[in-house]
Amino acid sequence: MDLTSLTDFFNQWILSNAYSMATGLLALVFGWYLAGFLANQLRRLFARSKSIDPTIGPVLSQLVRYSILIVTAVIVLSQFGVATTSILTVIGAAGLAIALALQGTLSNIAAGLMLIWLRPFSIGEYIQGNNNEGTVEEIGLFATKLTTAAGLHLFVPNSNLWNTSIINYSRKKTRRLDVQVGIAYDADINIARKVLLQLVSKDKRILNKPAPLVRVEALGSSSVNILLRCWVPTGKYWDVLPELTELTKLTLDKANIEIPFNKLDVNLFEAKNN
């Protein structure tokens, strides 16, 4: 076949399939746009809705997007003359190959679905798991996005969180707060207990139930270690802890109760000449 015949063949093929090609390209553009548009609209809808858990929004929007893209691909290929049964066969075979090649990715998807279903954490909660911690911003199909206390963005694969123990610092409404301090052995424990309980009674953020307590925790080598324990609303914990720690020191100073610390005494002896 010479070049002229080959050119005529392609021209004839293009003319005979122009409608199918145009339809396929339009379907591709429309499907791509529709997938992104619906995914964004669903994400915004779930974010605004008070009756729907915002945790499921990102995952559902991503599922809708990928589903539309797959259907679009089938429609486009059928317009180019590829039989639907052949397309489904290829998709099945490709799916099996991809599943074997991307086992880690699929495990992230499965972990993401389990995290959505069991909900060990939700959007806005502060968690720690597998040496990762931060406020949950989004639970996606493949990974969870966190913001650390330092303001850093953390992208954690879902399987890393699913396969480890998770500490959720925000799930409970109240949280226990402990302040430990050592006082001198000759200090009056009862006075220390009295002034510290008076201190916490003045702070409106500290809960009355369970009641605050001050007790001896241990007898150290140079101090009597006492524990100040109280409960606060979870959202107030990080505000109260540093303030109460500082006020504990100032209150004991005001009551003339010594907080001992390690000291090094150096004695100098003058050598006597014989």
Locate the domains of the chain by residue range. Answer: 3-101, 123-168, 174-254
Give dist(CA 106, CA 97) in Å, integer: 12
- The DSSP secondary structure of the chain, one letter per residue, reads --HHHHHHHHHHHHHHTHHHHHHHHHHHHHHHHHHHHHHHHHHHHHHH-SSS-TTSHHHHHHHHHHHHHHHHHHHHHHHTT--HHHHHHHHHHHHHHHHHHTHHHHHHHHHHHHHHHH-SS-TT-EEEETTEEEEEEEE-SSEEEEE-TTS-EEEEEHHHHHTS-EEESSSSSEEEEEEEEEE-TTS-HHHHHHHHHHHHHT-TTS-SSSPPEEEEEEE-SSSEEEEEEEEEEGGGHHHHHHHHHHHHHHHHHHTT-------------PPPP-
Report the relative pairing of strands 153-157 and 166-168 from DSSP bridges. Answer: unpaired
pLDDT at 167 over 70: yes
Buried b (16+ CB within 10 A) or exposed e, 132-150: bbbbbebbbbbbbbbeeee
Cis peptide before 212 (omega within 30 of 0): no
Cβ burial of 111 (10 Å; 0-12, 13-18, 19+) is buried
Please check whether the domain covering 174-254 is classified as CATH 3.30.70.100.
Answer: yes
Would you state the pLDDT for residue 26?
Answer: 83
Domain boundaries 123-168, corresponding CATH code: 2.30.30.60
Q: Do the first three CATH levels of 3-101 and 123-168 match, i.e. the same topology?
A: no
CB atoms within 10 A of CB 131: 8
Would you state the pLDDT for residue 132?
Answer: 93
pLDDT at 165 over 90: yes
pLDDT at 96 over 80: no
Instruction: Kindly report, residue by residue over 101-158, the tens digit of the pLDDT.
Output: 555 677 888 898 889 888 899 989 999 998 999 999 988 888 999 999 999 999 999 9
CA distances from 109 to 142, 253, 268 (A): 5, 57, 71
Instruction: Kindly report, residue by residue over 196-211, the tens digit of the pLDDT.
Output: 999 999 999 999 999 9
Would you state the pLDDT for residue 179?
Answer: 97
pLDDT at 185 over 90: yes
Query: Quick one: pLDDT band at residue 28, thresholds 50, 70, 90?
Result: confident
Nearest to 239 by CA among 203, 213, 201: 203
Buried b (16+ CB within 10 A) or exposed e, 208-228: eeeebebeebeeeeebbebeb
Check residues 213 and 79 and name the one with the higher pLDDT.
213
The CA-CA-CA angle for residues 68, 73, 76, to 5°, reads: 120
**Span 179-184, average pLDDT:** 95
Domain boundaries 3-101, corresponding CATH code: 1.10.287.1260
Give dist(CA 40, CA 242) in Å, integer: 42
Instruction: Kindly report, residue by residue over 43-68, the tens digit of the pLDDT.
Output: 777 777 666 666 666 777 777 888 88
pLDDT at 76 over 90: no
Instruction: Kindly report, residue by residue over 222-272, the tens digit of the pLDDT.
Output: 899 999 999 999 999 999 999 999 999 999 999 999 998 776 666 677 766
Give dist(CA 168, CA 149) in Å, integer: 15
**Span 37-43, average pLDDT:** 80
Contact indicator for 76, 28 with CB cutoff of 8 Å: yes
